Chain A
Amino acid sequence: MCKNVIKGARDMTDTTFQEETIIRTSGSHNCGGRCIVKAHVKDGRIVRITSDDERPDTDKRPQLRGCLRCRAYRSYLYHEDRLKYPMKRIGKRGEGLFERISWEEALDTIADHTKRIMAEYGPEAIYLSYATGNAGKTSEQVWMRRLLALYGGYLDYYGTYSSACTNAATPYTYGTVNSGSSREDWVNSKLIILMGFNPAATIHGTNTAYYLKKAKEAGAKIICIDPLYSDTAVALADQWIPIRPTTDSALLDAMAYVIITENLQDQVFLDTYCLGFDEDHMPEGIPAGNSYKSYILGTGTDQVPKTPAWAERSTGIPREIIIQLAREYALNKPGALIQGFGPQRHAYGEQPPRSGAALAAMTGNIGIKGGWASGCGSPCRKQYVGSIPINNPCKAAISMYMWPLAIQKGTELGKREGVRGVDKLSANIKLIFNLAGNCLINQHSDTNGTAELLGDENLAQFIVVSDHFLTSSAKFADILLPGDNFMEREDIVLPWSAGDYVLFMNKAVDTVYECRNGYDWIRDLAERLELTAEFTQGKTLEDWLRFIVDETRKENPGFPSYEEFKEKGVYDWEYEEPAIAFKEQIEDPRHHPFPTPSGKIEFFSSRLWELDKPAEVPAIPKYIPAWEGPEDPLRGTYPLQCIGHHTKRRVHSMFDNNDWMEEAEAQVFWISIYDAKKRGIKNGERVCIYNTRGKVILTAKVTPRIMPGVISIPQGGWWSPDKEGTDQRGCINTLTKYQPTPLAFANPQHTNLVEVAKLDQMEAEK
């Protein structure tokens, strides 16, 4: 490993009185926010970071202020551990031993393996793994897709590790994932219920927590339902309702029971817009007893009324609180039941988004000001921004979580396993490009199992990684490439969540060492595949950025010229009013049906019914007790549910090595004062968290801010196994199980049972 310090990395000398240039840029890491970042540059070095502090900060358009992550950018950019040269693996795969090589050798090797594997196995053996470390319009990922598409294709994926279940499930109710109104509309809500939604840490659209504050100032009551007393709850909630992970649908079912039995539902709304709420509004040919209402009241197949007393057992929420919550939601209209992504990252994560949408429909909170349709909540208002053309001739796609199976037995995978585009895969994955991502191991489930799989060079024969640091995933590279940093390149970035704007990233400083921009090295790879002309179309990177702007201007003539956009760094779309999801469908249902097969809000989905997997994929939303959930008998051995919450200090695994962040919030796991006391664990003590899949040694934060029976390891710590395989940094995936969910084939990362023990006890047991 090359360890030379980047020039001046720690030389933060006084710079107050010398000339600075201010460059307008942004962060292009995968972040819930997308903010204005201004790099203050002097003598070719960034000396300070500021944010949106000149434009007026108005209610209509609050400044796009960066959070601590971008603010701490210098400590990331000038980190001494940055990858500086291309390298090849010299140890066992995953061991992390590399040797410096030239770019020529690196690209020759990559080209050779690409040619060989394409010739031998075809495009379905080539996989671009899910990677979100660079979310720019012209990221490495984009260029590699473009090149491989031109070369014959690649196996694609769908879904995301963040939101796969809700992305898959919400359309079964609404026909779309775009069930979110503008956040500016929250000031019109009387009640806001945040279910597993913690934008203080996840950001989830720049200013989301700030919009909630505005709503609160306008009089909204805010209730947070979460196993953790989250940062958002501390800052904004009138009430915190702790809930056991994986049981959100049980709570929602019981709320529905209260609403129905107290006759608080908006029956006119249900009769007008919905399918499958009650037996009078079912699709033809479905046997009696399969409506949502029958399920809730226990008059259907299972004969179990979903009473608050029933839900109390699984959720841990006292029945009187469930009753209070149901009444408040039904009687305080308009109300917004907003679901985060945490509740859908579990064994049956497809259920909570549909259960939430059911409640929104029962209370008539859809399509109106101050309401919220629940479910996925992607913004209903979209803007078009041009993209780099990619036309993949290979039509096969897998769920982003299925690649380990596609490595082991791809040719056995077909539609039943969620394969799209083809009936069956024609090859196992042999070549992996993992560009600016850490899902190869760190952010995927079961690190120990995955490491074993990736270690077998007969299975995945060749792995290419590009990154800034030697991350856990990068250790599994055969060829490891040093990527350029956000501050060292130009790009165009969009908010991944809410926000009606687009930002231009200006280059602030030169690229260091032999780090290279994705377009540069992938163009050189194109040359080796004899595709230079097709790949570049004679364009420089700047030409392509101009192309994106030109494409955007075709749809929106008011969009500024390339020069103007680049200079201002930001473009805002102008709207008179906040967007309300499904406004048209509710105001004028005759002319605006919901984009579902029936044109209605589907409590009951015939498409799901036809899948004929009622126990795991019911046609109506149901609470399905999770394996390794609170009702699993395995709790006798592993009594604690373990989840992995997002924290302010990282974006997934990014910035884990930024020491300013460690200072702001150290990597510790949360355990309730109740569970810690039982085990004799003190605050600040290093202890062992374990189950059959692995062991983690980590410092305990003993706190009243997490529900008894639950612990949480902040997700994103870099997996750091010692010689015995015990993780020393707190990568939650050392403990997670690799088991795809039944409909979305998604990651169930918050579904884990574990035990926690003092280190001396672990020693004694050995």
Chain B
Amino acid sequence: MSKQIAFYVEQKHCMGCSACQIACKDKHNLPLGQNFRQIHAYEGGDFTISGNVVYQNTYAYWIPVSCNHCVDAPCIAVCPSKAIFKRQEDGLVLINEKSCIGCRRCFAVCPYQAPQFDAANGKMKKCDFCQDLLQQGTAPACVSACPMRVLGYGELSELQKKYGDTSWVKGLPNTAKIKPAWVLVPHRDAVDV
């Protein structure tokens, strides 16, 4: 298997703090409405009230989501101008801005809403894994920002060896086919017991 860089998300202890989202926004100079990494919130359950007392079966959790640089990225397949490509050396899914025509088909097909339309230049933009930082040997902005140390990155196969191969939790669309390059350690409420 060729090299594939990937994110590690210890989702079970994510506190939804958005430090990753803001670090990314700051690093990439993203205007309002654009975030390459976002916190998706899920909650549910209910209360039972009996006289004065309250019983609950509430659940809630977050999933910090960016582009997952999928092994079989659907955005590449639908891009009419071949602007999106998978870099052989590390598996990053990148957009060649020059070729991008801003048709947003990649957005429509991405289960994570990762590609974002930039109204300023009519192009799609998305997480590039902070490739400039990677080149310097440092972690992507989101990873080094995480106050809970629940974000990490590395070679996909190695991450899987260490943390298992979960890449889906409750709330996310079914992504078995596209093989997203991330490893999740699920929150207690994000798995079926």
Assess whether B61 is interfacial by the CB under 8 Å rule: yes
Main secondary structure of the interface of B (DSSP, over half): mixed
Task: Give 10 pairs: A residue, B residue, CB < 8 Å, sorted on A.
Answer: A51-B145, A67-B17, A201-B17, A231-B15, A236-B15, A317-B54, A664-B39, A704-B45, A704-B56, A708-B49
CB pair A49 B26 closer than 8 Å: yes
CB pair B25 A660 closer than 8 Å: yes
CB pair A71 B44 closer than 8 Å: no
Assess whether B157 is interfacial by the CB under 8 Å rule: no
Assess whether A234 is interfacial by the CB under 8 Å rule: yes
A53 and B53 alpha carbons, distance in the complex (Å): 47
- Pick the residue among B13, B19, B50, B59 that contacts A66 (CB under 8 A): B19
CB pair B49 A660 closer than 8 Å: no
Additional 11 contacts, C-beta under 8 A, given A201-B17, A665-B18, A707-B56? A66-B19, A67-B17, A68-B21, A229-B58, A231-B17, A236-B15, A240-B58, A312-B52, A674-B46, A704-B56, A704-B58
Q: Assess A68 versus B22: contact at CB under 8 Å? Given A704-B58, A708-B49.
A: yes
Assess whether A507 is interfacial by the CB under 8 Å rule: no
Assess whether A72 is interfacial by the CB under 8 Å rule: yes
CB pair A200 B17 closer than 8 Å: yes
- A674: chain B residues at CB < 8 Å are 46-47, 49
Q: How large is the interface on B (under 10, 10 to 19, 20 to 34, 35 or more residues)?
A: 35 or more
- A57: chain B residues at CB < 8 Å are 149
CB pair A235 B52 closer than 8 Å: no
CB pair A209 B43 closer than 8 Å: no
Identify the 5 closest CB pairs spanning chains A and B, nearest first.
A235-B15, A200-B15, A12-B29, A53-B144, A664-B18
Chain A-chain B contacts (Cβ-Cβ < 8 Å), number: 137
CB pair A705 B47 closer than 8 Å: no
Q: Within B53-104, which residues are at the interface with A (CB < 8 Å)?
A: 53-56, 58-62
A704 and B56 alpha carbons, distance in the complex (Å): 8
Assess whether A318 is interfacial by the CB under 8 Å rule: yes
Q: Name the residue among B23, B54, B55 with the largest chain A CB count within 10 angstroms.
A: B54
- A50: chain B residues at CB < 8 Å are 23, 141, 144
- Pick the residue among A12, A318, A664 that contacts B55 (CB under 8 A): A318
Assess whether A563 is interfacial by the CB under 8 Å rule: no
Binding site for A on B (CB under 8 A): 12-19, 21-23, 25-27, 29, 32-33, 35, 39, 43-47, 49-50, 52-56, 58-62, 132, 138-139, 141, 144-149
Q: Assess A207 versus B147: contact at CB under 8 Å? Given A48-B26, A234-B62, A705-B60.
A: yes
- B55: chain A residues at CB < 8 Å are 318
- Interchain nearest-CB distance for B125 vs A (Å): 12
Assess whether A213 is interfacial by the CB under 8 Å rule: yes
A665 and B61 alpha carbons, distance in the complex (Å): 15
- A206: chain B residues at CB < 8 Å are 147
Assess whether A316 is interfacial by the CB under 8 Å rule: yes
- B39: chain A residues at CB < 8 Å are 664
A663 and B37 alpha carbons, distance in the complex (Å): 13
A373 and B60 alpha carbons, distance in the complex (Å): 31
- Please, what's the 1-or-0 string for A12-41, where 1 marks a CB less than 8 Å from any CB in chain B? 111110000000000000000000000000
- Pick the residue among A48, A313, A659, A664 that contacts B52 (CB under 8 A): A313
Q: Within A209-254, which residues are at the interface with B (CB < 8 Å)?
A: 209-210, 213, 216, 229, 231-232, 234-236, 240, 242
Assess whether A703 is interfacial by the CB under 8 Å rule: yes
CB pair B53 A316 closer than 8 Å: yes
CB pair B56 A74 closer than 8 Å: no
Q: Within A422-462, which residues are at the interface with B (CB < 8 Å)?
A: none
Assess whether A363 is interfacial by the CB under 8 Å rule: no
Assess whether A145 is interfacial by the CB under 8 Å rule: no
Assess whether A405 is interfacial by the CB under 8 Å rule: no
CB pair A65 B18 closer than 8 Å: no
CB pair B16 A65 closer than 8 Å: no
